Amino acid sequence: MTSDPSQRVRPTSPDSRSGVVRPTSRSSPDEPVDESVRSRMSAQPRRDTAPELALRRELHRAGLRFRVDHPLPGIPRRRADVVFTRVGLAVFVDGCFWHDCPEHGTRPRTRASWWEEKLRRNVERDRDTDNRLVAAGWVGLRFWEHADMTWAAAEVHRTYRELRVSGPPNR
């Protein structure tokens, strides 16, 4: 491979809308992604994180049964960490980095503009998911990964009981 940055080949992927092959990275060719960084970031768990497990343990201890990493009805390609399908309750445990926590969120210095856009889109997707849940008559609860999961489980349990008594809104 040549050392000239303009001659580097970047990985590509097909654009699903047009079928055109586009670079997967939005950075310039002179900002290559280090393979160790790429593998470390792709190895981040999507589910079963320590905060999720702590929340699920507390919910289970309270006698609640639920679905884990379950698709959301009518919202393609979106999943909730914990779902109570009978009452229409979806629970999310948002990671501080990936969901841009105002208290603990950090921004990488490398490829800063790419990461800023990526995290902004993540937050937009979260708000869109919340709005779609409400439109479908569901209740969504979101907790930061740094929250006390005993408290979070108590909030989920309280909301679950309310929905069992009153029924899910607009369903």
Q: Where are the domains of the chain?
A: 50-166
* pLDDT number for residue 45: 61
- Identify the band that residue 41 occupies on the pLDDT scale cut at 50, 70 and 90: low
Give the single-character DSSP code of 8.
Answer: P
> Phi, psi at residue 70, to the nearest 5°?
-100, 140
* pLDDT number for residue 97: 85
* pLDDT number for residue 8: 37
Q: Using DSSP bridges, classify how beta strands 89-94 and 139-144 pair: parallel, antiparallel or unpaired.
A: parallel
pTM: 0.74
With 0-12 CB in 10 A as exposed, 13-18 as middle and 19+ as buried, what is 114?
middle
Residues 49-107 have pLDDT tens digits of 999 999 999 999 999 999 999 999 999 999 999 999 999 999 999 999 888 888 888 88
d(CA 34, CA 50): 27
* pLDDT number for residue 139: 96
Radius of gyration over every alpha carbon of the chain, rounded to an integer in angstroms: 20
Higher-pLDDT residue of 11, 73: 73
* pLDDT number for residue 39: 67
d(CA 159, CA 87): 10
d(CA 161, CA 68): 19
Residues 140-170 have pLDDT tens digits of 999 999 999 999 999 999 999 999 998 767 6
With 0-12 CB in 10 A as exposed, 13-18 as middle and 19+ as buried, what is 131?
exposed
Which superfamily does CATH assign the domain made up of 50-166 to? VSR Endonuclease (3.40.960.10)
